[in-house]
Homo-oligomer: A and B are copies of this chain.
Amino acid sequence: MRRSECKKIDPDLGVLSSRTLFALQKDLFATLAEQGHPDLRPRHGAVLAYLDEEGTRATDLATQSGQHKQVIGTLVDELAELGYVVREPDPADRRAKLIVPTGKGLDLMARSDAVVAAIERQHAEAAGEADYAVFKRVFRLVAARQSGQAE
């Protein structure tokens, strides 16, 4: 059997993660565009997915997204330009800055979480709730093991 045929029938973890991530991003950002956020690009997810309402340090965004601090800096510049975040001094450490979502950013974050939750509910219905729960539990373990973080 051709290698590509094998991978279609029994795709490996990398193929499945890649296909799911890029299709989910496409779906999510198309929906967000319809909901009043047309300027965002999937790359901005590395910041927006992990941002806290109260603000987050760039180093924490880098750790959680697995992206380099420089990449996060560029994304924050773009998001600030688009009006989604502002940089503010961190009250806990005056030398540090927090990336804080604006009202527009908060709206986007709430919508984004809701869209992903709705997509997951549909997958859970298609797969069966019990099997989807096993899927999520094993996926948490795999992601933690793979990224070297104990669960």
Contacts and interface: CB of A to CB of B under 8 A. Distances in A.
A104 interface: no
A143 B11 contact: yes
A33 interface: no
Assembly stoichiometry (copies): 2
B4 A56 contact: yes
Contacts of A145: 122-123, 126
A89 to B, nearest CB: 19
Given A4-B60, A49-B14, A24 B146 contact: yes
Nearest to A19: B143
Interface stretch (A77-85, A90-98, A133-141): A133-141
B23 A20 contact: no
Count class of interface residues, chain A: 35 or more
Interface string A123-151: 10011000110111111111101111000
Contacts of A45: 14, 18
B135 A18 contact: no
Contacts of A142: 20, 123, 127, 135
Given A3-B113, A135-B135, 19 more contacts: A3-B109, A4-B52, A11-B143, A12-B116, A13-B24, A13-B139, A14-B21, A14-B24, A15-B143, A17-B20, A17-B24, A18-B45, A19-B147, A20-B146, A20-B147, A23-B66, A23-B148, A123-B146, A127-B138
